[in-house]
Amino acid sequence: MNIKITLPDNSMREYPKGSSAMEIAKSISEGLARNVLAAKVNGEVRDLNRPIEEDSSLQLLTWTDAEGKSTMWHSSAHLMAEALEFYYPGIKFWVGPPIQNGFYYDVDFGGQAFSADDLKKIEDKMAELAKQSNAFVRKEISKGDAVNYFTERGDQYKLDLLSNLEDGGITLYTQGNFTDLCRGPHIPHTGYIKAIKLTNVAGAYWKNDSNNPMLTRIYGITFPKKSELDEYLTMLEEAKKRDHRKIGKDMEIFTFDDDVGPGLPLWLPNGGVMIEELERLAKKTEQRAGYSRVRTPHLAKESMYKTSGHLPYYEDSMFPPMECDGEKYYLKAMNCPHHHKIFKELNPSYRDLPIRLAEYGTCYRYEQSGELFGLMRVRALQMNDAHIYCTKDQFAEEFNAVNEMYLKYFRVFGIEKYVMRFSTHAPEKLGKKYVDNPELWKQTEDMVRQVLIDSNIPYIEVPDEGAFYGPKIDVQVWSAIGREFTLATNQVDFAVPARFGLTFRNSNNEMETPICIHRAPLGTHERFIGFLLEHYAGNFPIWLAPQQVSILPISEKFNGYAKKVLQLLRNSDIRGLVDDRDEKIGKKIRDAEIKKVPYMLIIGEKEEAENAVSVRQHGKGDQGSLPIQEFIDRVSKEIQELLDA
RNA sequence: GCCGAUGUAGCUCAGCUGGUCAGAGCUACUGAUUUGUAAUCAGUAGGUCGGGGGUUCGAAUCCCUCCAUCGGCUCCA
């Protein structure tokens, strides 16, 4: 009897019932059969050698398919487990999934020491086992037999997994001397794994719960070709060079100091310039969009955070309070309550709405010490914050305008890869995790969703991740080295204004509670500049570059003219420096290139005589000579165009 | 906070199992040189080897502890 197999190109072929995907691959081409790792049968990824019993659609997965990679990495995790068990008999395994780059396995070493120094011998053992081309053998087993098997081995972890599995469809996989409870699928045999790198070892809580004991998590990655591993390692090296902590140090953007404290960044002069430029951009953009700027203190009394409802939920993330005149004061971890107080003072009528209060507010959050990470996770942060108070009728338009602002910023910064993470509520948790107002949840979520759809913004919807007071959108971006960041956040709040008793007088002369939109398109200076450092690898667009022009006199004789040029640049708000060291021009150029200064002006006898400058552009080389004023006009125009994107 | 690792001049790093181990390059400073598109030469200066305690005749090197950083976990802008 034959079955019909439909391939991705919609062609159909007939095979005897019970043919395996591998046999089908061989029938198509030898080359394909050599490269195929797993098969997608009717949408389910499966082992290649499992017989196919009915008419099916079939996709043969290779290394170029994400699912092909995952299958290989999952199998690699098993291979690693086998190597680990060889050296550390009796250790217990939790789970070993494939991840974005490679795989890990969580291991309980039962008190035996294991460190990064031991990775090499495991790698070598894995290579040895891979060469044996041991088949991954799938075996269906009843739940009872499985429980017996793992009880006998005293494996509480696999028993825990089993307790959540239904009888039927439970499978074991064995390769060489290692057997694991596993749903599969796997590659046919270990010989497919040609290059192995165990990247690091770390602790991880069992079931990701910090109340549970820690297991040892070992990360690794494998490839079907040695050359691909080399490429991957080179890529990691490159990523290291773009790390914002390294660039930030090299370019003197920021630093930390033991005496100041962990997570409290000091912005060096170059970082100060970037902050000034970002704030200038934000203020201008917000001014045009009808925002009002306010300023609020860095602390407030305990009572305000009780009113806002932040204290009970947020106390652990706030710095401990300071006692003063018999009162407790907290450093602010968010600007919202202060802004709410301002709204209240304004006592507006519906004719005054929307009211948009903006502030680059400084907040302090007591992040756990292990969470601090360069500029990305800090304890003092300045947020591009604003709160928009509007009526229900105004909400969609206001929300859309906020989105437009996000998109403008993405253009200015050349951010092409982004996703909006739209977090909604979970109906069954109304009244617990979420404010109990189903109509408003539905209404605001529908409006937000519609704005996202209308503006054609890529987004993913995540249920049960909203704030307690409303749905929110987090902007996910990816830095050039592939690190994912939540850059900015945008939240709808229909609850806290009520807690503060915020009202406006509507057209019927009744008091009504406004909806509040929290938004911070540029996130915080800390995280945003951290992101920009990696995004641009320090090669900032000229408007943002701490130093825009380096003036390089050929010899000391021209230092005077160089200073004159510098003053002209400064008069036109262009940031420059004269390199008047007693060095040769080649050296000065080299140093300016390394510092990634966008423009270098080489100045000698000819330039001084002609009131000109010789322009060299970073990364592009000699651009010829220009009259000074022409250069200034060109730079000013370039800056304007970048900001008007 | 938890698991693991690391911490030597402003920067990048040597310094193996305790005894000329306090070093190199870059930077900075001084002098010579006065230079045309990615490194001129020479000299000088710089560190109680993260802090504190201990073991030892002797510790950057071994032990304890604290701090910070890094890789993860948890958490998040």
| pLDDT reported for residue A413 | 94
Distance A118 CA to B25 C1' (A): 33
Distance A249 CA to B58 C1' (A): 39
Pairwise CA distance, residues A254 & A286, whole Å: 27
3-state class (DSSP) for residue A594: helix
Task: Verify if strand B has an atom below 7 Å from the CB of A622.
Answer: yes
Break chain A into its structural domains and give their ranges: 2-62, 67-239, 254-536, 549-643
Q: Per-10-residue mean pLDDT for chain A, 645 residues long?
A: 88 89 90 90 90 90 92 95 92 91 91 81 92 93 91 90 86 93 92 92 88 90 92 86 92 92 94 96 96 96 90 86 93 94 95 96 92 93 96 92 92 91 88 83 90 88 86 87 82 89 94 94 94 93 96 95 96 95 94 95 95 95 95 96 89
CATH no. for A254-536: 3.30.930.10
| pLDDT reported for residue A167 | 84
| pLDDT reported for residue A468 | 81
Q: Which of A79, A42, A45, A80 is nearest to A62 (CA)?
A: A45
Concatenated DSSP letters of A354-423: -EEEEEEEEEE----GGG-BTTTB-SEEEEEEEEEEE-HHHHHHHHHHHHHHHHHHHHHTT---EEEEEE
Q: What is the DSSP letter of A430?
A: B
| pLDDT reported for residue A68 | 92
| pLDDT reported for residue A311 | 85
Distance A206 CA to B34 C1' (A): 69
Task: Verify if strand B has an atom below 7 Å from the CB of A593.
Answer: yes
Task: Verify if strand B has an atom below 7 Å from the CB of A369.
Answer: yes
Task: Verify if strand B has an atom below 7 Å from the CB of A519.
Answer: no
Distance A521 CA to B74 C1' (A): 27
| pLDDT reported for residue A209 | 87
The CATH architecture one would assign to domain A2-62 is Roll (3.10)
Task: Verify if strand B has an atom below 7 Å from the CB of A638.
Answer: no
74-133 on A, CB < 7 Å from strand B: 115-116
CATH no. for A67-239: 3.30.980.10
CA angle A578, A584, A586 (to 5 degrees): 90
- Give the CA radius of gyration of chain A: 31
Residue A283 CB burial class (10 angstroms; 0-12, 13-18, ≥19): middle
- Kindly report the number of other CB atoms within 10 A of residue A578's CB atom: 20
> Which CATH code, of 3.40.50.720, 3.40.50.800, 3.30.499.10, 3.40.1000.10, is assigned to A549-643?
3.40.50.800
Q: Which two tokens stand for residue A314?
A: 């947020």
| pLDDT reported for residue A45 | 92
Q: Which of A474, A490, A504, A470 is nearest to A340 (CA)?
A: A504
Residue A257 CB burial class (10 angstroms; 0-12, 13-18, ≥19): exposed
Distance A101 CA to B72 C1' (A): 15
User: Do residues A300 and A333 make contact, with C-beta atoms less than 8 angstroms apart?
Assistant: no
Task: Verify if strand B has an atom below 7 Å from the CB of A419.
Answer: no
51-70 on A, CB < 7 Å from strand B: none
Task: Verify if strand B has an atom below 7 Å from the CB of A539.
Answer: no
Nucleotides of B under 7 A from a protein CB: 1-5, 11-12, 28-29, 31-40, 67-77
Task: Verify if strand B has an atom below 7 Å from the CB of A606.
Answer: yes
User: Do residues A248 and A268 make contact, with C-beta atoms less than 8 angstroms apart?
Assistant: no
Task: Verify if strand B has an atom below 7 Å from the CB of A251.
Answer: no
Task: Verify if strand B has an atom below 7 Å from the CB of A310.
Answer: no
Determine the protein residue whose CA lies at the shortest distance from the C1' of B75.
A371
- Residue A395 main-chain phi, psi, to 5 deg: -55, -50
| pLDDT reported for residue A495 | 85
